[in-house]
Structure 1
């Protein structure tokens, strides 16, 4: 597949997650809620995580922002559901590496739609948009571990 076709496909995936976000909403009071924002461009996310026995049972988000931040939140919540905390954090680390333009070894973990965001690494000002939800997830997992 040519670069232009791949780029078009990735844009379509990002726009699909933006226009039809997965896991938009909130969870009950027993979930961990993390509020984060990116003051540079106004992105805001409220992430809700339900972690039980070291596994992310559910993840939902609310917020507003650019297509990159909202798509990334949609993809992230989809990706971490059902994963143990260690896997979710490894995915986050891989995503951060991808955003920095580093080669990633995704032999162990399939990033799926998330790979559509790899082009963001070419636009340093947009990296914070893409990583906002992932940073919120890291903070939420750490908060849950402190409460346990």
Structure 2
């Protein structure tokens, strides 16, 4: 697909972000920044009784790439299990972003994934919650 379409999508997501805001009740919230560029992302996640993402929101400030990536990532993980969230990798996110990025911009795009994984790995394993080993 033409990269200009993806560039337009990035600008549109920057101007009209998906899942933007904060959740009043979340199972986890995590925030981090990229001190080199000033991007800041916070992600709130609410799981359902089956340990699937029932609701997710993000907030923060930064460049169009970091903001668009946060929108795309949070939309993509809805309905995924905690394990699937933990296994979501950078290549999947970069594919969602859809444009070739410089190394500096890759860090911008991956900030939301870093935040998501830090929060997800801070959660107990669903098997432990069910009393399984």
Tell me how many residue pairs correspond in the alignment: 126
C-alpha offsets along residues 31-81 of structure 1, whole Å, 9 cap, x if unaligned?
A: 311011000000001110112332111110110000000000000010001
1:54 lines up with 2:35 in the alignment: no
Q: Please, which runs of 5 or more residues in structure 2 have no aligned partner?
A: none
1:119 counterpart (63, 81, 100): 100
**Matches of 1:30 and 1:61, distance apart in 2:** 12
What is the TM-score of this pair, normalised by structure 2? 0.84
1:90 lines up with 2:84 in the alignment: no
Query: How many Å apart are 1:93 and its aligned residue?
Result: 4.4
**Matches of 2:66 and 2:26, distance apart in 1:** 25
Q: Please, which runs of 5 or more residues in structure 1 have no aligned partner?
A: 99-110
- Whose helix fraction is larger, Structure 1's or Structure 2's? 1
Query: How many Å apart are 1:144 and its aligned residue?
Result: 2.0
Query: How many Å apart are 1:26 and its aligned residue?
Result: 0.7
SS in 2 for 1:119: coil
1:72 lines up with 2:51 in the alignment: no
Structure 1 pair 93/68, CA: closer, same or farther in 2 (3 Å)? Answer: closer
Query: How many Å apart are 1:13 and its aligned residue?
Result: 1.1
**Matches of 2:114 and 2:124, distance apart in 1:** 15
CA contact (8 A) 1:51 1:144 kept: no
Aligned CA-pair RMSD: 2.1
Query: How many Å apart are 1:20 and its aligned residue?
Result: 0.5
